[in-house]
Amino acid sequence: MDVLRPTLIRIEGRVYRKNLIQEQTFQHEEEGEDDFCAGPGDCVDEPCDAFVVEETEKGFQCRVEVPSPFYKYIIGKKGETKKRLETETRTSISIPKPGVEGEIVITGQHRSGVISARTRIDVLLDSFRKKQPFTHFLSFALNQPAIQEKFLQFKEEVLEKCSQDPGVSSSLFQNPAKLHLTLGTLVLLNEQEIRKACDLLQRCKEDFVDQIAGGKPLTVEVAGVEYMNDDPAMMDILYAKVHMKDGSDRLQVIADQLMERFVASGLMLKEWDRVKLHATVMNTLFRKDPSGVSEERSNTVAGKSSFKERESFNGRNILKLFENFHFGEVQLDSVRLSQRFSSDASGYYATSGQL
């Protein structure tokens, strides 16, 4: 890491820096347990109103909701991380039993110490959350019958004309029942976080989605194909292009505002300034997952794909022959909070919530 350009971490609308300090090697330390400090000043300089800190008879106390899968990261191997946090901030940190959802309670005699411990826990959790594979994603379903029929025609023609091209096979194609637009991915690790995401989605509907859409479904045209990597001869993902039938940017505006709201809430990581509207039609990840449920964003965080090796395919002829392939029109009437690796009765992803 460049000392002059440290990694910046966003938590609940605030920005922290990840400082490079003297490394200590613990043979049994949990992987990824880095040391953090809030910026631009020291942890103890954190504004007192950043968190809710209660005054008690014995000092001060702060509570933080943490999904149970993260407890082990705060505890560390043999409790080393927890002990280090308590020692350096002069606090006591109470963590629920493994698997029991609840709050981590930080207590101490000094408000600054409690705030420092809370800050460091938040930054640690944010770092570990970024390393988790996503569990849910916001999506527009594109699996209406007419689109599915045209997609199957596209698949048939590609295999008929391009099956001899290196890497091209039937296993690369999306499951037609799962055709969709991905607006953003989320890591939701317990029912409380899922409920929080559903509530936020509903507020977005009330605050701006209905107004932008005019209370009517958006008519979208799916036509043409494109790729996002540099060499079409070594392609991993092929996308169908999506745009509003009336030529407006309303779909893009809704997608961007949804992303901004979810990023601001801490439920989603911001990767791009604008949402790239596209529908995956071919993906080399499907080669090892024929069910078509391995929905992956094209830039999986830190290369954390479940599949270590991907055999790319030569998509030059596909781009040339199907540049303007028309998949059809679709009425978009809801944004869904979709669960990864799942299916509902229609074959689409199970929906936790929608607007």
Cβ(139)–Cβ(180) below 8 Å: yes
157 and 94 part of one domain: no
58 and 145 part of one domain: no
172 and 316 part of one domain: yes
217 and 329 part of one domain: yes
Q: How far apart are CA 341 and CA 339, in angstroms?
A: 7
117 and 222 part of one domain: no
Task: Kindly state the average pLDDT of the residues 321-331.
Answer: 97
Instruction: Write down which residue in 131, 152, 177 finishes a domain.
Output: 131
Higher pLDDT pick, 300 / 138: 138
Cβ(108)–Cβ(90) below 8 Å: yes
User: Considering the domain boundaries, does residue 10 fall inside one?
Assistant: no
Q: Is 78 helix (H, G, I), strand (E, B) or coil?
A: helix
**Per-residue tokens: 287:** 């080669």
Q: Is the pLDDT of residue 112 over 90?
A: yes
User: Considering the domain boundaries, does residue 235 fall inside one?
Assistant: yes
| Residue tagged 């407890």 (tokens) | 71
178 and 236 part of one domain: yes
Instruction: Write down which residue in 131, 166, 197 finishes a domain.
Output: 131
**Per-residue tokens: 313:** 């395919």
CB burial of 186-204 (b: ≥16 within 10 Å; e: otherwise) equals bbbbeeebbebbbebbeeb
| Residue tagged 């790319």 (tokens) | 312
CATH of the domain at 112: 3.30.1370.10
Q: pTM of the predicted model, to two decimals?
A: 0.76
User: Considering the domain boundaries, does residue 9 fall inside one?
Assistant: no
How many other CB atoms are found less than 10 A from the CB of residue 316? 14
Q: How far apart are CA 263 and CA 138, in angstroms?
A: 12
Q: How far apart are CA 116 and CA 111, in angstroms?
A: 9
If one counts the domains in the chain, the total is 2
98 and 80 part of one domain: yes
What sign results for the dihedral spanned by CA atoms 183, 139, 193, 99? negative
* Amino acid, res. 3: V
Element (H, E) at 148: helix 145-162
178 and 274 part of one domain: yes
Residue-wise pLDDT for 144-199, tens only, equals 999 999 999 999 999 999 999 999 999 999 999 999 999 999 999 999 999 999 99
Give the domain range for residue 198.
Answer: 136-291+310-354
Q: How far apart are CA 5 and CA 42, in angstroms?
A: 17
Share of the chain above pLDDT 70, in %: 80
How many other CB atoms are found less than 10 A from the CB of residue 349? 25
CATH of the domain at 266: 3.90.1140.10
* Amino acid, res. 17: R
Mean pLDDT over the full length of the chain: 84
Query: What is the model's pLDDT at position 270?
Result: 84
**Per-residue tokens: 330:** 């679709």
Query: What is the model's pLDDT at position 43?
Result: 42
Q: How far apart are CA 116 and CA 2, in angstroms?
A: 25
Give the residue from 171, 149, 322 showing the smallest Cα distance to 240.
322
User: Considering the domain boundaries, does residue 222 fall inside one?
Assistant: yes
**Strand boundaries in 174-313, DSSP class E:** 180-186, 218-226, 237-244, 278-283
Q: How far apart are CA 268 and CA 261, in angstroms?
A: 9
Q: Is the pLDDT of residue 10 over 90?
A: no
Degrees to nearest 5, angle at CA 51 with 45 and 57: 95
210 and 335 part of one domain: yes
Q: What is the DSSP string of 198-213?
A: HHHHHHHIIIIIHHHH
User: Considering the domain boundaries, does residue 43 fall inside one?
Assistant: no
Task: Kindly state the average pLDDT of the residues 85-105.
Answer: 95
